[in-house]
Amino acid sequence: MKLKAYISLLLFLVSTVIASAQIKFEAKLSKNKLGVNERLRVDFEMNKDGDNFNPPSFENFTVIGGPNQSVSQSWVNGVRSFSKTYSYFLAPKKQGKFTIGQATIEIDGETYKTTPVAVEITGAVQRPNDPDNAVAVADDNIHLVAEISKTNPYLNEAITVVYKLYVSANTGVSNWREIDNPKYNSFWSQNIDIKGMKVENGTYNGEDYRYVVLKKTVLYPQKTGKLEIEPLSLDLTVEVPTNRRDIFGGRLMTQVHKTVSAGSKTINVKPLPEQGKPADFTGAVGNFDFKVTTSKTNLNATESLQATVQVSGNGNLKLFQLPKLTLPSSLEVYEPEHNENIRTDLNGMQGSISDDYTIVPQFKGKYPIQSVSFSYFDLKTETYKTISSGNIVIDVLEGPTNSSTSDNNFASSGVGKQRVVMNDNQFAFVKTDANLTDIKPNYFFKTDMFWVSLLSPLLLIPLAIVLRRKKEARDADVYGNKIRKADRLAKKYLGEAKKTLGQKEAFYVALEKALHNYLKAKLFIETSELSKDRIKTLLSERGVDSSIITEFIGILNNCELARYTPITNVEMQNDYEKAAKTISLIDKQLN
């Protein structure tokens, strides 16, 4: 009996070993040596189904297709065969000898690994013109082109880059995705929206092609010299015809993966000429009109008027500063409000920018607004041009007279001045007889002031006791002290924000801290709870209007985004005033 048990155990172990030995999991390459412009197919095959497949990292390669999964099984003479394959299509990144690492999978609770395989990547190879080679056909019939309007612009002159994908008539593209998206370093850039891609007919290298415009970008160079535009690269699924035909005689198509690139482009940016450059030139390049207008020229004191400094036309409207108005000190002037009405197309920026000044005269009189000049570089004539606004006189009809001004005018005119005549009695005011008299002694003892001074400390003792008890109660109020501390911090940071107006980074950091400390004081929350969703929920539960909540969250978003985008002093002032107003509104509505 013991012998039979040993034999049964031995047979079981042998069958287990044989069964495990029959499981295969291996990696296969389409070729072990290929050019950097060719594609590599890697198949991971197993003869038994498994779970939790993990591919290698494929470093030094770009995965342009896969994983594609295929399963096949058959029965031959009662014997079942099974095969499952994960396939990847790889594009080499560079030349050299590389290793495809191990892939892993779990089969029947055991983990199996493939053996690493080596592959050699050589320089680009010349592909034979093989009509049956789908990859070669795709390479010859798909082209990505970057068309640049001008390769030698001036500094701040607009150029356009249009990316077109050319496809031959007998080839198709089923889908595509961007791999490398250009960053346009040293350029101000703006993408132009493309509404619906339209297939058009054109030519490429003298041959008829169809093409579609994938992307349009307007660039304004911000540096002189040779600037590089990074390439746009796409991963495409290309459908190419084969020599096989279906039962109706139609040619069958096959799909291949392809990576296309527009290639990098070099732009040689010319500096603006120094000869003839006006002293007030601030970098405007294009074709512009300039004017200064006022909403009225006749008004009464304490009434307001609007003075607008406006530049309109075609050019780098967002990339220069408007000239400032010079106004008499007797006029009260507020910080200007900056407005932009700009659209951008393939011709660059077009529209207008303006600064609106609010002016309030305090006294009666006539006040001149001196002529303001604006200079720009005209690309058509390649010369500098200057436009002057002309003088404007503000006539204040009614109101108080500025006495200091009239006094100054009077003094400067010399009218009414008389010569000082000296006489012999100029020291007559000095008295030589003092006429001193005795005074009665005034004693302090037992006076009213004496008794007040004596009893005051005794009367202050009860007051000191009351104040001390209030202080102890206040010190014991940990919750209230926490609120008061946060309020002080909010005021402190709002003050810091106001001090740093004009310094973007410091201003928005201080403003964000003020908002957070205000919330901590009013909503009794900690810093870790300051998420936007949590803030919305708490403010809504406390009865604050949704519009005010949206305004508050918008200010927080501005604080986060403004650190990485260009911001003017006017916009910073608006954000500060908006924050103060919103905090006031929330205070009024909090339950």
* pLDDT score recorded for residue 19: 46
- Same topology, domains 21-122 and 285-396? Answer is yes
* pLDDT score recorded for residue 444: 66
What is the 3-state secondary structure of 149-168?
Answer: CCCCCECCCCEEEEEEEEEC
Which of 80-84, 87-91, 416-420, 516-520 is predicted least confidently?
416-420
Q: Which residues make beta-bridge pairs with 178?
A: 234
Nearest to 137 by CA among 178, 93, 177, 170: 170
With a cut of 90, say whether residue 465 has pLDDT above it.
no
Coil, strand, or helix at residue 416?
A: coil
pLDDT tens digits, 51-84: 888 899 888 888 876 777 777 777 766 677 788 8
* CA–CA separation, 86 and 276 (whole Å): 69
* pLDDT score recorded for residue 157: 95
- Residues 441-454 have a mean pLDDT of 72
Please report the beta strands in 298-451, taking only residues with DSSP state E, as ranges in sequence order: 298-299, 305-315, 331-333, 337-345, 348-361, 365-369, 373-378, 383-388, 392-396
Q: How far is CA 1 from CA 7, 9, 13, 482, in A?
A: 10, 12, 19, 85
pLDDT band of residue 309 (cuts 50, 70, 90) is very high
Say if residues 211 and 260 touch (Cβ distance below 8 Å).
Answer: no
Which of 192-206, 310-324, 364-378, 455-469 is predicted least confidently?
455-469
* pLDDT score recorded for residue 436: 62
What is the 3-state secondary structure of 164-218?
Answer: EEEECCCCEEEEEEEEECCCCCCEEEEEECCCCCCCEEEEECCEEEEEEEEEEEE
- CA torsion angle for 71, 76, 79, 84 (degrees, to 10)? -10
User: How many C-beta neighbours within 10 Å does residue 260 have?
Assistant: 23
* pLDDT score recorded for residue 412: 34
* CA–CA separation, 367 and 75 (whole Å): 104
Q: Class of the 21-122 domain?
A: mainly beta
- Residues 238-248 have a mean pLDDT of 68
478-589: CATH superfamily: Nucleotidyltransferases  domain 2 (1.20.120.330)
Identity of the highest mean pLDDT range in 68-82, 122-136, 319-333, 502-516: 319-333
Helix (H) or strand (E) holding 65: strand 61-76
Take residue 216 and report the two structure tokens written for it. Answer: 């349009």
Which of 172-176, 302-306, 587-591 is predicted least confidently?
587-591
pLDDT tens digits, 106-149: 888 888 999 899 999 887 766 544 455 666 677 778 889 999 99
Asked if residue 231 has a cis previous peptide bond (ω within 30° of 0), the answer is: no
pTM of the full structure: 0.50
Choose the CATH number for 285-396 among 1.25.10, 2.60.40, 3.30.310, 4.10.280.
Answer: 2.60.40
* pLDDT score recorded for residue 79: 73
More confident residue, 183 or 244: 183
With a cut of 90, say whether residue 289 has pLDDT above it.
yes
* pLDDT score recorded for residue 129: 47
pLDDT band of residue 548 (cuts 50, 70, 90) is confident
* CA–CA separation, 267 and 230 (whole Å): 11
Domains of the chain, by residue range, sit at 21-122, 134-269, 285-396, 478-589
- Residues 399-403 have a mean pLDDT of 77
Which of 296-300, 344-348, 562-566 is predicted least confidently?
562-566
Q: Which residues make beta-bridge pairs with 341?
A: 352
DSSP string, 265-287: EEEEEBPPPSTT--TT--S-EEE
* pLDDT score recorded for residue 217: 94
- Residues 1-10 have a mean pLDDT of 56
